[in-house]
Amino acid sequence: MMTPRLLLIYNPFAGTGSFKERLGDVVDIFVKGGYSVEVYPTQSRGDAVKKAFEPEIRPDVIVAAGGDGTLDEVVYGLLKSGNQIPLGYIPVGSTNDFAATLGISSNIIEAAGDILGGEERAIDIGLFNNKTFVYIAAFGAFTDVSYGTNQGMKNVFGHAAYLLEGIRRLGDIKSCQIEVTVGQRKISGDFIYGMVTNSLSVGGMKNLTGKDILLDDGLFEVTLIKTPRNPLELQEIAGALLMGNTEGKYFETFKTPSLTFSSEKEIAWTLDGEFGGNYKEARLVNMSRSVTLLLDGDHSHVLGS
């Protein structure tokens, strides 16, 4: 009987770079768990996509170690390949929103062990035009903070680095005039921010994406923030967000399996915290239960089946 193969794709620059120090321990855990391990450190953006899409030898399990961006690349490569390979995740980024939603341990050794003891659980993945995202596609105010924040600041200050960068940009909020098509319904207006999510946590903050959230129900949670007309309204919006309340008059919130954004001017989008491109039209579709994660523990609060 052949020894099962595990492909470990890791980003050596994610977070504080601490994963490199525990790499030997992680490989040892997987080898003791019965796997033949291939290790691949990414060198630049897009490397994880290529490796997950065309591994030299098809593995039985793929493990992504890095931030949400690394996970996103591995998922994209897997979906492109059409291979139904179970995926494990070791979160070592600066914020790790998706891991927080699923309760995946931020301890590298614990996360590796949980992959070995995990069961296969299918989750939804978002399709954005011809790209994919795992948990969030967003436009507008502060969406470039995650990829525009200096990596050195992220390493030193962690999540606080995002907050510092966001505060610095408060005076530069711009409005986007957009039409959103949801089935037969159209929503038109000026918005400073919009997000299409499949997560409990965004930017390290919980309770912003709605209620009764499941990652395998085939539905996105959508939040649109209307453009404030004066500083007082902006202050009210900021207060509502800090309280995790997106049900007021400044917000449009709903669930949907698909939707389209249209605008006369190109709008910059982020996908899982990375720059996703500029578009006048964006079509988003929920690909229900299209990727299988290896998860340990009870996830009934976010997985329905």
Domains of the chain (ranges, CATH numbers): 5-117 (3.40.50.10330), 131-288 (2.60.200.40)
37 Cβ partners below 8 Å, 6+ apart? 5, 6, 7, 8, 27, 30, 31
CA 214/CA 301 separation, integer angstroms: 7
CA 216/CA 287 separation, integer angstroms: 9
CA 134/CA 198 separation, integer angstroms: 7
120: three-class secondary structure by DSSP: strand
pLDDT tens sequence for the chain (305 residues): 789 999 999 999 887 778 999 999 999 999 999 999 999 999 998 999 999 998 888 999 999 999 888 999 999 999 999 999 999 999 997 777 888 889 899 999 999 999 998 999 999 999 999 999 999 999 987 565 444 444 444 444 344 444 444 444 445 567 889 999 999 999 999 998 889 999 987 766 666 777 889 999 999 999 998 988 887 887 787 777 777 778 888 899 999 999 999 999 999 998 988 889 999 999 999 999 999 999 998 887 889 86
Taking each helix axis from N to C end, the angle separating 19-32 and 108-116, rounded to the nearest 10 degrees, works out to 20
Question: What is the widest separation between alpha-carbon atoms in the chain?
Answer: 69
Strands in 15-109 per DSSP E: 36-41, 61-66, 87-91
* Per-residue tokens: 20: 């490199």
Handedness of CA 162, 75, 207, 195 (dihedral sign): positive
191: three-class secondary structure by DSSP: strand
| CB 187 within 8 Å of CB 252 | yes
